[in-house]
Amino acid sequence: MSFTVRPYLPDDEPGWLRCRVLAFLDTQYYDDVTPHRTSFDLPAVCLVAVADDGTIRGILDVEVDGTAATIDTVAVHPDHGRRGIATALLDEAIPQVRAAGATTLDAWTREDEVANAWYLRSGFAENHRYLHVYKGGDEPAAGFAAPDGLSTPVIAFMHADISREAELRARFARVHVCRQYLRRL
């Protein structure tokens, strides 16, 4: 089935959300679920890849902050991966991002091999890395504090320096290397 890349429209939100949830479900971002699409305060390039039957097969949102642009979301419906959808979205976005004044484009991802390989094939280079650490409800709360009147956190999401990877992997079940990819435009 072929697809067309076009600007995101407000009526696309339900299909955008379905595409994002299903695309993220089989990745380390499986719990990054939102009930509404991100809204942007700064200029943004927001695109969708739409199939002939009108369903959204891929999404790409890029926010532009002066000369720096960041991919907020890129996702392809899992039933339609490896068909060039993400690349077509990126190819359409780059001229628009440049026209908005950006000279660099960055993106953040975790350890997903497909995503990391796509960024490298798409002209990005790894620029920085740090850790995403989750404290699950069944993991000890020792060392955590909370404001008066609240219990210690049941679950938590934290950032940590990459140098602490071994120590944190020994303590927490869910630790991810978060990578920043950068592409000069």
State which of 48, 67, 102 marks the end of a domain: 102
Note the helical H segments in 39-112: 85-99
Count CB neighbours of 50 within 10 A.
Answer: 19
State which of 68, 102, 136 marks the end of a domain: 102
pLDDT (tens digit, 9 = 90+) per residue, 114-160? Answer: 999 999 999 999 999 999 999 999 999 999 999 999 999 999 999 99
Listed in sequence order, the residues at least 6 apart from 84 whose beta carbon sits closer than 8 Å to its beta carbon are none
Domain count of the chain? 2
pLDDT (tens digit, 9 = 90+) per residue, 28-72? Answer: 999 999 999 999 999 999 999 999 999 999 999 999 999 999 999
Give pTM, 2 decimals.
0.94
> In terms of residue numbers, what domain contains 78?
1-102
